[in-house]
């Protein structure tokens, strides 16, 4: 799938999420859990997307500061191919992939470049923050491993994210996955590589 097609699919999914409104038990909109939330900057007070019953409502939530780092780390004896992507609070996106073996037990041999791969606009950054909040990412366990997976090989994936006052690190061990993690990982790929 091309980057543009993948971006279109993700935008379509985001549009569908935005069209959904979290419902309260009586069928009406869910009450705002924090009516005095700061207004700078915040999500619009429109519908609240949600992909899990306990996902954070996106309306009236502080979106800044927003920082994110995604890491994919091999469990093999080499660190070649380990990748990471960092999105700074000002929208700069940095990516690095190991091309040489590591020393000293570090999983990284290739530093981030001095120049960003691209820079997200404020609206792109806010959309990414809304995706994180609407996905249920902050409800993920700190570590998750699919039961029955072999203890050797595979890759561990990590997402470390700050949105407003919320911070969380989620690690998917040995190619494990959870829907909220997959949603955010794909949004990061699209933000980092689809102009």
Strands 166-173 and 143-145: parallel
Whole-model pTM over 0.85: no
**CB burial class (10 A; 0-12, 13-18, 19+) of residue 83?**
middle
Q: Residue 38: inside a domain, yes or no?
A: no
Residue 53 belongs to a domain? yes
- Provide CB contacts within 8 A for 171, sequence distance 6+: 142, 143, 144, 156, 157, 158
Whether 35 maps to a domain, the answer reads no
Total number of domains constituting the chain: 1
Rounded to 5°, the CA angle 86-175-167 comes to: 40
In a domain, 108, yes or no: yes
For residue 113, the enclosing domain spans 3-22+43-193
Angle separating helix axes 179-193 and 3-19, nearest 10 degrees: 130
CA atoms within 13 A on the CB side of 35: 3
In a domain, 34, yes or no: no
CB proximity list for 14: less than 8 A, separation 6 or greater: 49, 127, 131
Q: For residues 151 and 147, give the distance between their C-alpha atoms in angstroms, rounded to a whole number.
A: 10
Position 30 in a domain: no
Domain assignment present for residue 150? The answer is yes
Q: Give the C-alpha separation, 134 to 161, whole Å.
A: 14
Per-residue pLDDT of the chain (195 residues), as tens digits, is: 444 443 433 333 333 333 333 333 333 333 333 333 333 333 333 333 334 444 445 555 789 999 999 999 998 888 999 999 999 999 999 999 999 989 888 899 999 999 999 999 999 999 999 999 999 999 999 999 877 665 566 899 999 999 999 999 999 998 888 999 999 999 999 988 876
Q: What CATH code is carried by the domain that includes residue 62? A: 3.30.1560
The answer to whether residue 29 is domain-embedded is no
């Amino acid at each position: 799938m091309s980057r543009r097609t993948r971006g279109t699919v993700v935008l379509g999914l985001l549009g569908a999420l935005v069209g959904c409104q979290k419902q309260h038990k009586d069928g009406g909109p869910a009450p705002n859990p924090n009516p005095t939330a700061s207004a700078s900057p915040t999500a619009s007070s429109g519908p609240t997307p949600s992909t899990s019953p306990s996902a954070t409502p996106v309306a009236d939530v502080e979106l800044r500061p927003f920082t994110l780092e995604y890491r994919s780390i091999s469990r093999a004896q080499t660190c070649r191919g380990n990748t990471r992507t960092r999105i700074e609070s000002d929208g700069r996106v940095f990516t690095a992939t190991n091309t040489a073996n590591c020393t000293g037990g570090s999983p990284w041999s290739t530093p981030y470049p001095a120049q960003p791969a691209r820079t997200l606009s404020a609206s792109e950054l806010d959309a990414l923050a809304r995706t994180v909040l609407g996905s249920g990412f902050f409800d993920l366990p700190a570590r998750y491993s699919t039961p029955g997976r072999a203890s050797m090989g595979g890759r561990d994936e990590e997402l470390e994210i700050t949105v407003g006052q919320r911070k969380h690190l989620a690690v998917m061990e040995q190619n494990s996955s959870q829907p909220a993690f997959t949603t955010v990982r794909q949004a990061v790929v699209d933000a980092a590589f689809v102009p």
